[in-house]
Structure 1
Amino acid sequence: MESNDVEEEEFEFSRNYFLAKELGTSSKKSACKLSDINIVDEQELRDAHANLEPKHEREINDLMNSYKKSYSEWVFLLRCGFGLLMYGFGSKKFLIEDFASSALTDYSVVVINGYLQQIHLKQVVITLAELLWDQLKMHGKTTWENLPKNQQPFNTKSMDDLIAFLDGPHLEDKECFVCVVVHNIDGPSLRDSDTQQYLARIAACSHIRVVASIDHVNAPLLWDKKMVHTQFNWYWLHVPTFAPYNIEGTFFPLILAHSGSAQTVKTASIVLQSLTPNAQSVFKVVAEHQLAHPNEEGMPLNNLYTICRERFLVSSQITLNAHLTEFKDHELVKTRRNSDGQDCIYIPLTSEALEKLVQEISH
């Protein structure tokens, strides 16, 4: 091809390009809006998804069974001081829970569901300290400074004190530890820098081991070199399961779907069923009061405490506050001050939705 022909072709391409841009800017813009899209109800969309026929079940079961052969190796890695970080396509919730329930029966296990919208990390650390304290009592090692032998005032301790206790030289036996299972350590409630720093400090404690999963492609950006190699001390395990994210996806609104009240009730029901029976009963007290007094601004905290004490649901104000903190973390309840200046608690649901929720958790 002659050089003149090449230049002519390039000129023609450039001219057509700018001509198209000029025509594009002068043409009438579309009047269509995203809000004009006819979207379906979220519950209807989730029901349709739930009715999808699963595929490749036999292959997926074979894959899951193949991982079970590695359970003893994974336990050995934990005993050596590594943290297990599982990645790969598919939900790893069932795999990790099966590993914990079948291979970690000799150890205490605490589960953190990182896919929830909010998590009270200090309450998790308090639970870890209480479990370790029980192990120390079994070994006859109850010499932690300022900690009475017949009492565990962990809720009064700061995070630094609690982490110091978890890292203390209580036992020479390094195999005495509490295992922390973190589903989706890259979840929305755990992604901020402060939370990751605390998780890394917890993982670095001598009596703590971590088993976690990640799913976000940018999850490794959450950690620096020290956190990866020194604190978490990750041992990376590629364990694709190809399992659907049914539970993890429950707490996220679907694209192009209305967020209906039915879905809100379903989500709240799932959260409540994961709590203790006493916590569920405390929630029912608030719900029953709200249904009986729909025009009030909420249930005064003093009244709630009195009723819960009478029904033997709580033994102290501290216990009630722990339940309320858990409710708030999961956005099940909210607080406000009424016209008399009293702090009140209420459930942000309509009466109809609240009745359905009470019926679901009562079954």
Structure 2
Amino acid sequence: MEMNDADDEEFGFSRNYFLAKELGGSAVKSHSKLSDINIVDEQELRAAVSNIEPKHEKEIKDLISSYKRLYPRWAFDLRCGLGLLMYGFGSKKTLLEDFASTSLTEYSAFVINGYLPTINIKQVLTSLAEVLWDQLKIKRRTPSKSLSKDQQPFSSRSVEDLLAFLDGSEDRTSEFLVCVIIHNIDGPGLRDSEIQQYLARVASCPNIRIVASIDHVNAPLLWDKKMVHTQFNWCWYHVPTFAPYKIEGTFFPLILAHGNTTQTAKNAVIVLQSLTPNAQGVFKILAEYQLSHSEEEGMPIDNLFATCRERFLVGSRPMLNSHLTEFKDHELVKTRRHSDGQDCLYIPLTSEALEKLLVEMTQ
């Protein structure tokens, strides 16, 4: 009897399944289309998202405080030759930058924003080589006039030459380190296998340490066994912050929103708020120059460097180039050739948007 009951039950399930499929096929289908959805303006949608009240603030604050107590351990891991890989739900941009600014003050920090859709890896390696070379001059107290010509400029070198410089041309007994902070090493601009190989080689350089974050569930598939254990030498840390991806999401179109390729002052303010005060000062100088010289094609790089040095915003040309690289990565600043042949910098915003941007920066 029990077997017959089981057979009847199984038959009932099967009959109901095919009956549901038959009724579903004869049902009236919806004629609604995705194009019929009322799509709102992207800026309006982003403003609505930013006005969502945060929840569990106390619990999240306690969680971040527990991570800050790990800063000495993380710094020790870096001194031991390990790389730090942070994973977990939520943006880790603020956490990594706070760690670098409070616990890595004795080292030089170099930031790569992997969440940007397009990244020029050669430009990144060039800037990193300039930062490393600048630190070597300080540590060795070598007069700039005594430097051989084959060590400059880095911009004319190939990617392989830059990697060779970072890896083998320096004193491995040097105690200084350059810590490379990579926000979203699994970002769309860095997912290429060749770029990951370059980053792995950078991580294995004697005077460089990597601190990176990942957010994609399949991020570990980017690396093979050699890259994980020999080159990156990852030390994994689970650090969910539950923070919104405010900066990272700026560069991706929102669902159900009109696309807008023109960069607005509001988006620029969001990006600038994530940068250092000195970087904001450099951008402000460029913006003020552009407003007062609207008839010109841009501000010459030499003039910008001289002004920034007078205001103690930068101490060297590589430091200025580092800020400019970040501006260009965020598409805040672009370069064009002046009529006299020199390269000039300009901000791709209208004068009205630029004035509004300066007002919002001072608030």
Do both share a fold (TM > 0.5)? yes
Q: Which amino acid aligns with 1:359?
A: K
Instruction: Output the CA distance in 2 between the equivalents of 1:156 and 1:47.
Output: 44
TM-score, normalised with respect to structure 2: 0.77
The SS at the match of 2:299 is: helix
Instruction: Output the CA distance in 1 between the equivalents of 2:62 and 2:280.
Output: 35
Matched positions, count: 338
Q: Which residue of 1 aligns with 2:312?
A: none
Instruction: Output the CA distance in 1 between the equivalents of 2:229 and 2:334.
Output: 40
Choose 34-43 or 6-15, whichever is displaced more.
6-15
Q: Which residue of 2 aligns with 1:176?
A: 176
Instruction: Output the CA distance in 1 between the equivalents of 2:98 and 2:301.
Output: 40
Instruction: Output the CA distance in 1 between the equivalents of 2:357 and 2:204.
Output: 41
The SS at the match of 1:154 is: coil
Answer yes or no: is the 8 Å Cα contact 1:185–1:214 preserved in 2.
yes
Q: Which residue of 2 aligns with 1:299?
A: none
Q: Which residue of 1 aligns with 2:159?
A: 159
Q: Which residue of 1 aligns with 2:352?
A: 355
The SS at the match of 1:165 is: helix
User: 1:9, CA displacement in angstroms?
Assistant: 3.8
Answer yes or no: is the 8 Å Cα contact 1:114–1:189 preserved in 2.
yes
Q: Which amino acid aligns with 1:154?
A: F
Instruction: Output the CA distance in 1 between the equivalents of 2:289 and 2:25.
Output: 62
Deviations 1:318-356 (A, max 9, x none): x9x9999877654568999xxxxxxxx99988x6xx732
Q: How much identity, in percent, do the aligned residues show?
A: 64
Relative to structure 1, the CA distance from residue 108 to residue 50 in structure 2 (aligned partners, 3 Å threshold; closer, same or farther) is same
Instruction: Output the CA distance in 2 between the equivalents of 1:189 and 1:287.
Output: 33
User: 1:284, CA displacement in angstroms?
Assistant: 8.0
Deviations 1:160-199 (A, max 9, x none): 1111111125224253221100111111111121211111
Q: Which residue of 2 aligns with 1:241?
A: 241
User: 1:224, CA displacement in angstroms?
Assistant: 0.7
Answer yes or no: is the 8 Å Cα contact 1:42–1:257 preserved in 2.
yes
Relative to structure 1, the CA distance from residue 244 to residue 281 in structure 2 (aligned partners, 3 Å threshold; closer, same or farther) is same
Unaligned runs of 5+ in 2: 307-317, 337-344
* Structure 2 residue 208 is matched with structure 1 residue 217: no
TM-score, normalised with respect to structure 1: 0.77
Instruction: Output the CA distance in 2 between the equivalents of 1:160 and 1:110.
Output: 20
Instruction: Output the CA distance in 2 between the equivalents of 1:14 and 1:283.
Output: 71
1:107-256 correspondence runs (5 A): 107-140=107-140, 148=148, 152-168=152-168, 170-256=170-256
Instruction: Output the CA distance in 2 between the equivalents of 1:33 and 1:288.
Output: 50
Q: Which residue of 1 aligns with 2:73?
A: 73
Instruction: Output the CA distance in 2 between the equivalents of 1:173 and 1:160.
Output: 23
Deviations 1:124-158 (A, max 9, x none): 21222112212222233869xx9627973011111
1:310-321 correspondence runs (5 A): 312-313=303-304
* Structure 2 residue 71 is matched with structure 1 residue 60: no
User: 1:271, CA displacement in angstroms?
Assistant: 4.4
Q: Which amino acid aligns with 1:245?
A: Y
Instruction: Output the CA distance in 2 between the equivalents of 1:71 and 1:333.
Output: 34
Q: Which amino acid aligns with 1:162?
A: L
User: 1:24, CA displacement in angstroms?
Assistant: 2.0
Unaligned runs of 5+ in 1: 293-302, 337-344
Instruction: Output the CA distance in 1 between the equivalents of 2:346 and 2:302.
Output: 20
Q: CA RMSD in A?
A: 4.0
